[in-house]
Amino acid sequence: MSNQAKYDSLRQTFESFCYEDFHYKVENGTFFASFDFVLSPTIAFHPCFEIPSRSFYHWNSIPKPLLDNLIFHIGMIELISYWKIACPKKVVVKPFALDEEQIRWWKKLYFNGLGEFFYVNGITTSIDDFMHIDSGAAARCCHSERSEEPPLNNQTLIPIGGGKDSVVTLELLKNRVPAIPLIINPRGATNECVAAAGFNDDQVAIIKRTLDPTMLKMNAEGYLNGHTPFSAMLAFYTILLGFATHSKYIALSNESSANEPTVPDTEINHQYSKSVAFENDFRRYVAKYIDADIQYFSFLRPLNELQIAKLFSRAKEYRKVFKSCNAGSKTDSWCGRCPKCLFTWLALSPFVSRGELADIFGKDLLKDNDLRPILDQLDGSVEVKPFECVGTVGEVRACVNKILQTDKNLKDTILDGVEKTDDTTVEDYIAEFDEGNNLPPLFKKILKEGLNA
């Protein structure tokens, strides 16, 4: 059975998905929350999360209507991972009533955030047909119970993923603004990066997110599965942590390169929820339906991948601890075989020697000819880029051109026989600064000073 046929069949079998309720409590300073989802008629999911106690949390200062609203919204983004198992036509939202603008907003996020899921599974649908959201029976509107919000200060939350981008943000900001690193489901690379930055465990905000085992079981049994917009999920969690820590600013590390579609001439983008389009939509939504004072933005939005790689190359203490390979995340390693590994190598190659790169990745990736098809995807030799968080085709070509120009030992490598593609240079990219960003003036000043250091 094709995935399209499976999609159509599952939508007949499971007519609706219901967001029944959410629950939360604070015990001994630790925050616990869970959600009740039902895939009609009888399959229940109960994902949950906890936020371990830290001295900088002020849970009691958040008015209950606001805290209800914050947890409700986390449930709205969590549900997409469970809805996609069977893709029911109808989603019923019971905790709060959504207005028509909100319904349109959520459908846009779900549809674009699942663009890769639909594409990879060969599912043909549209934003009008894939889902209907019904919240008409809910007793209250999520934005109708505004009360006095807790005071926000100039503190900044910095989500840390363990890769080079969040390291650059942390390095540039940690000595300029009061900062709290934030990690979802810590692993070796995230822990070691914040430690290298000088933070101890008690200075780091941690979210322990737990997936429902029934969903994992159904995935293994062959129900529909695929990519969901993780960065959008992170965005709603950061708003909760912003109020809990009284932090006015939330500084992401998404670059301008994330705006390029993965599939040319479409809206399908693996990094949709890292794009400036999502960032702008999210900021408007939060201002209208949650709070207008808290500021969510990407600190690195004005930069491209090569500028970030150049800044990262200065921080040598992170070279042995950063990891951004999804395939190697469970073993905290670089797999050396995936698009993320090869792109990271190429992006760093203008600024870090080939020998040092081989030391970081555990081998010389240029000598692994099995990576040539991946290079073809990255540099635009084939139409579709890898569905990974990688840079633009132009950035890859600029790095390849630089290697061809400076490295005379390319025989029997993935670049053997490759010719310069165009006149794009690394220097061209280094000189850029994208003004399509949401940086507050202080943060833009810090970023420009870092670039010019």
Q: How confident is the model at residue 453 (pLDDT cuts 50, 70, 90)?
A: confident
Helix (H) or strand (E) holding 280: helix 276-289
| Contact assessment for residue 417 and residue 143, using Cβ atoms and an 8 Å cutoff | no
Tell me the average pLDDT across 371-393: 91
DSSP 384: S
Cα separation of 79 and 21, whole Å? 11
* Mean pLDDT, all residues of the chain: 94
Nearest to 190 by CA among 215, 164, 221, 228: 164
Of the pLDDT bands very low, low, confident and very high (cuts 50, 70, 90), residue 349 is: very high
At 423 the pLDDT is 77
Do 24 and 32 contact (CB within 8 A), yes or no? yes
Cβ neighbours, 10 Å, residue 123: 19
- The Cα 297–Cα 249 span in angstroms is 8
The residue whose two tokens read 């905000």 is 205
User: In this model, does residue 363 exceed pLDDT 80?
Assistant: yes
Residue recorded with tokens 């693996």: 270
228 pLDDT exceeds 70?
yes
Say what the pLDDT of residue 139 is: 63
Query: Residue 382: is its pLDDT beyond 90?
Result: no
What pLDDT is recorded for position 130?
Answer: 97
- pLDDT tens, 47-85? 999 999 999 999 999 999 999 999 999 999 999 999 999
Relative to beta strand 90-93, strand 205-210 is unpaired
pLDDT by residue (tens digit) across 160-206?
A: 999 999 999 999 999 999 999 999 999 999 999 999 999 999 999 99
Residues 299-331 pLDDT 10s: 999 999 999 999 999 999 999 999 989 888 788
Locate all alpha helices (DSSP H) within 290-406, ordered by sequence.
Answer: 305-313, 339-348, 354-361, 372-378, 393-406
- For residue 2, the tally of other CB atoms under 10 A from its CB is 10
SS3 18: strand
What whole-number distance in Å separates Cα of residue 118 and Cα of residue 287? 30
450: pLDDT strictly greater than 90: yes
Sequence ranges of the domains in the chain: 3-140+150-298, 323-430
- Give the closest residue to 202 by CA, choosing from 311, 304, 55, 13: 55
Which residues neighbour 148 within 8 Å (Cβ) at sequence distance 6 or greater?
63
pLDDT for the residue 437: 96
Provide the pLDDT confidence category of residue 420 given band limits of 50, 70 and 90: confident
For 253-290, write each residue's pLDDT tens digit: 999 988 888 898 888 989 999 999 999 999 999 999 99
pLDDT score, position 29: 96
Write down the pLDDT at residue 384.
84
Q: What is the pLDDT of residue 11?
A: 97
CA 169 to each of CA 166, 347, 440: distance values in angstroms, whole numbers, following the listed order: 5, 17, 14
pLDDT digits (tens, 9 = 90+) for 92-116: 999 999 999 999 999 999 999 999 9
The strand pairing partners of 23, in sequence order, are 34
DSSP calls for 75-102: HHHHHHHHHTTT--SEEEE-SSB--HHH
C-alpha radius of gyration, the chain, whole number: 22
Structure tokens at 297: 């933005």
Neighbouring C-beta atoms of residue 431, cutoff 10 Å: 10
Q: Specify which residues 21 forms β-bridges with.
A: 36
Q: What is the pLDDT, as a whole number, of residue 283?
A: 98
Q: By percentage, how much of the chain surpasses pLDDT 70? A: 98
Residue type, 340: K
Cα 119 to Cα 41, 108, 314, distances in angstroms = 28, 16, 39
Quick one: pLDDT band at residue 146, thresholds 50, 70, 90? low
Beta strands 48-51 and 205-210 are antiparallel
Q: Are 346 and 393 in contact (CB under 8 A)?
A: no
User: Rounded to whole angstroms, how far apart are CA atoms 128 and 297?
Assistant: 29
The pLDDT of residue 143 is 62
CA distance 15 to 42: 12
Q: Using alpha carbons, list the distances in angstroms from residue 199 to 72, 171, 183, 184, 203.
A: 31, 12, 12, 16, 6
* Secondary structure of residue 45 in the 3-state scheme: strand
Residue 43 three-state SS: strand
The answer to whether the beta carbons of residues 206 and 160 sit under 8 Å apart is no
Q: Helix and strand tally (H, E) in the chain?
A: 16, 11
Identify whether the C-beta of residue 248 lies closer than 8 Å to the C-beta of residue 295. yes
For residue range 12-38, list pLDDT tens digits in order. 999 999 999 999 999 999 999 999 999
d(CA 322, CA 332) in angstroms, rounded, equals: 9
User: What number is the average pLDDT over the span 388-416?
Assistant: 92
Task: List the one residue out of 396, 402, 395, 377 whose CA is nearest residue 387.
Answer: 377
pLDDT of res. 407: 87
**Among 321, 198, 305, 275, CA closest to 436:** 275
